[in-house]
Amino acid sequence: MKWVILTVAAALSLSVQAASAQNLEKAIFAGGCFWCVESDFDKVPGVVSTTSGYTGGKTKNPTYKQVTYGDTGHYEAVEITYDPAKVSYEALLTAFWHSVDPTDDGGQFCDRGDSYRTAVFALNEKQRKAAEASKKAAQKSLGKPIVTPILAAATFYPAEYYHQNYYQNNSFRYRYYRFSCGRDRRLKDLWGEHAFKGIPKN
């Protein structure tokens, strides 16, 4: 009898987990170095997971070297899985704008080239409309033209394993890179007190 009760409890637990998983949604943003985008969004309450990868280009199953030095058309991007009951897509968009320099069409901070450009990849019409409205509001707040495009989502290819959670697995190197690249200094200059605070706390 005890075994049966435990089995039922386990089944109920799995049922709740499955229902919760079904309610999760995704967002895809390109904000320059995907290590930094992962670091920023992992700190947003309601974000369940982040995955660094490549999207928006023509090459299937691209490698980091191909994306960085080749002509794949891909962006470095991050796929964000989030719980819409805890954080809205609109809130994620606001965090995104304040974590990048959306006035730069040549890359981000010290990282130059097409793969480091910013973009919002809308997974459906609802996201597209929300992104367009959010972009307009951010541009008004910033007082400068925003060049970040809103694009239809394409196939997302996860990056190599060593890029995932890089800021956690290689904390010292990550911090040195981020500081040297001037990301947070530029964000402060651009957004002032509204800049997203991107350096993770240990």
Beta strands in the chain, from DSSP E residues, in sequence order: 25-31, 47-55, 75-82, 107-108, 111-112, 118-122, 150-152, 157-158
What would the 3-class secondary structure string for 22-42 be? HCCEEEEEEECCHHHHHHHHC
Distance CA 176, CA 27 (A): 28
In degrees to the nearest 10, what's the CA dihedral of 133, 118, 76, 177? -130
The answer, yes or no, to whether residue 4 has pLDDT greater than 80, is: no
The pLDDT of residue 12 is: 40
Contact 121, 131 (CB under 8 A): no
pLDDT tens digits for range 13-35: 444 454 456 699 999 999 999 99
- SS3 state at 112: strand
The pLDDT of residue 21 is: 63
Is residue 36 part of the annotated active site? The answer reads: no
The answer, yes or no, to whether residue 44 has pLDDT greater than 50, is: yes
Catalytic residue among 33, 36, 110, 181: 33
Confidence of residue 191 (pLDDT cuts 50, 70, 90): very high
Mean pLDDT of 181-201: 84
